[in-house]
Structure 1
Amino acid sequence: MATRTTGTARADLITDAALALLVERGMRGLTHRAVDERAGLPQGSTSNYARTRQSLLEATVRRLAEREARVLAPGELPVPGAGETAGPQALVAALALALHRYLTRHPELLICRYELALEATRRPELREFFDATGRQFRQPLMTLMTAAGSAEPERHTLSLVAWCEGLMFSCAAGSFHRSVPTEEELRTGFAELLRGMLGPQWALR
């Protein structure tokens, strides 16, 4: 007797297929029929799960955020107030590890991110949804910047995120796509950035 696919498993299958299509064909290639074919599901399965294109895009954004959370792992960031384990070195090491893991093991997720971000600029309803999913990554950083003594944690978090985003784009789709930094180089970069914002205690030692 064949094993029945649970609702959650089927939803993941559909949205993972949608992400794969974004990498392979871009936004134009993301259709309900194409997702069915890519996922190996009967025609109409994706329409039953997400009736409209907007709902399919929202589900795809949500799945991307879930997969990015596994890679970037906000839970690996130091806990404010935990002494040496939350000091400058620990934060720099955690940020470098997560970014290096993303750049070297999951560059396809970055392509999906850019496709969806561009689509969000044309769909205000998707823009709001896309931005909401990003808060799960920004808030832990803002908490850490506050604990680190930042006088302007919101502005400093923006600078940190912008630096990471610029690096990711350059390495995934820009002119440095053949030159992904090493984890050590990323640690140096994060230390330089944080030292400029927060003071000399952020120098690598």
Structure 2
Amino acid sequence: MSTKRELVLDAAIELLGSRGLRALTHRAVDEAAGMPAGSSSNYFRTREALLSGIAERLEQRDHHDWAALSHRPAPTTIDELVAGMAEFIRHAATTDRIRTLARYALFMEAQTVVPLQESVQRGHRALTAWAESLLTPLHPDRSVAKLLVDYADGVILHQLVSPEPEFDPHAALDRLARALFAAPE
């Protein structure tokens, strides 16, 4: 069962991802959460506090998703890695589109809000570390994980901005992964 604070943050994520930063106000969050006026400002006094709260909630939800994904066996081949990454990218750009759009809106806002920047960077480091742990059995160079994570971010962003109806990142991911894994260490 979600707490009222989590309900406020989940509504804020939905609002941010569906309507953008300009629509993100305490009043709009209260309405989206179905809570009395002033509820969100009781938890987050300023816009900066609300943005930081959103970033933290996104990180919590990501960790929950990663925990579910980590119950799968780690990839043991490049084919398994590529298939898993392609599935993640498709999910982020389609099924989880609103949450992904909210995350990218926070990325842009983090350029001027230092506490938010720290939260976004922490989340990126956690994702990269998770990818490193999955890739280590396949490739000892930890920088390969960062390259793949950064590539996935870019592909997801482009799909969100210019959706391709028959979007399938598998072939390009396969080509990139094989090139990275074949590169001299």
**In the superposition, relative to structure 1, how do residues 163 and 102 fare at CA in structure 2: closer, same or farther (>3 Å)?**
same
Letter of the 2:149 partner, please give it: V
Alignment RMSD (CA, Å) = 2.3
Match of 2:171 among 188, 191, 204: 188
Match of 1:54 among 48, 65, 71: 48
Query: TM-score, normalised to structure 2's length?
Result: 0.85
SS of match in other structure, 2:112: coil
Structure 1 residue 41 corresponds to structure 2 residue 35 = yes
Q: Distance in 1 between matches of 2:170 and 2:98?
A: 23
Partner of 1:75: 70
Q: Distance in 2 between matches of 1:143 and 1:47?
A: 39
Unaligned 5+ runs, structure 2: none
Partner of 2:146: 158
Unaligned 5+ runs, structure 1: 1-5, 80-84, 201-205
Shift of residue 187 of structure 1?
A: 3.0
SS of match in other structure, 1:86: coil
Partner of 1:199: 182
Q: Distance in 1 between matches of 2:23 and 2:11?
A: 11
**In the superposition, relative to structure 1, how do residues 9 and 107 fare at CA in structure 2: closer, same or farther (>3 Å)?**
same
Offset from partner CA, 1:125-166 (integer Å, 9 cap, x none): 21011111222211121123332234x312x22221221111
Q: Distance in 2 between matches of 1:48 and 1:153?
A: 43
Structure 1 residue 127 corresponds to structure 2 residue 110 = no
**In the superposition, relative to structure 1, how do residues 21 and 145 fare at CA in structure 2: closer, same or farther (>3 Å)?**
same
Bigger CA drift: 111-120 or 23-32? 23-32
Shift of residue 70 of structure 1?
A: 5.2
Match of 1:115 among 105, 118, 121: 105
Match of 1:169 among 154, 157, 172: 157
Shift of residue 194 of structure 1?
A: 1.3
Letter of the 1:102 partner, please give it: A
Shift of residue 63 of structure 1?
A: 1.9
Shift of residue 168 of structure 1?
A: 0.6
Partner of 2:3: 9
Q: Distance in 2 between matches of 1:58 and 1:188?
A: 36
Offset from partner CA, 1:47-106 (integer Å, 9 cap, x none): 111222222111111222333455565415643xxxxx6222222222122222222212
Indicate if the aligned counterparts of 1:71 and 1:102 stay in contact, CA closer than 8 A: no
Q: Distance in 2 between matches of 1:57 and 1:181?
A: 31
Query: TM-score, normalised to structure 1's length?
Result: 0.77
Structure 1 residue 25 corresponds to structure 2 residue 13 = no
Partner of 1:106: 96
Indicate if the aligned counterparts of 1:171 and 1:179 stay in contact, CA closer than 8 A: no
Number of corresponding residues: 182
Report which structure shows greater RCO (CA 8 Å, sep ≥6): 2
Q: Distance in 2 between matches of 1:171 and 1:180?
A: 11
